[in-house]
Structure 1
């Protein structure tokens, strides 16, 4: 899943080397924390959050077979 997120995000940003995905796994949920360069935040979020929503939709669909709830957080 981490690779999927990186594959989606890296072509969108100006600084692909600074894209980092951290995984926090708890009992009933997995949280993926996506961090990008401050200048790339607008590109990852998109107008009215459309790009972020699309990324989340793909990630959640890919993770639908897992028993745990998946969350994607976008941070600086």
Structure 2
């Protein structure tokens, strides 16, 4: 029995939103508000059985703004991400790769 090729409609069908997508959207919104070059901000979201890892990449000169003095900004961002993650049922870790 031969498999039928995907139709154009099937190929464009949106993927169901994962709980980690909501957390990634929050992280992106906050980070883009902190940096001078929001177009350079990218997120890599890795879902696993243990939870979700969100790696934030930004321009080198903006990494300090995302981290903040004594790490206060990234700590606050992690608290927000973990709070939303617990609400949607997924453990979350956030890392900054400048």
In the superposition, the TM-score normalised over structure 2's length comes to 0.72
Distance in 2 between the 1:11 and 1:65 partners?
A: 23
Which of 9, 14, 22 is the equivalent residue of 2:36? 14
1:48 aligns with 2:70: yes
Distance in 1 between the 2:80 and 2:53 partners?
A: 15
Gaps of 5+ in 1: none
Kindly tell me the number of residue pairs found equivalent between the two proteins.
76
Distance in 1 between the 2:64 and 2:74 partners?
A: 10
Gaps of 5+ in 2: 1-22
Which of 26, 41, 60 is the equivalent residue of 1:4? 26
Greater RCO between the two (CA within 8 Å, min separation 6)?
1
Which ranges of 4 or more aligned residues in structure 1 deviate by more than 6 Å?
none
Root-mean-square deviation (Å): 1.1
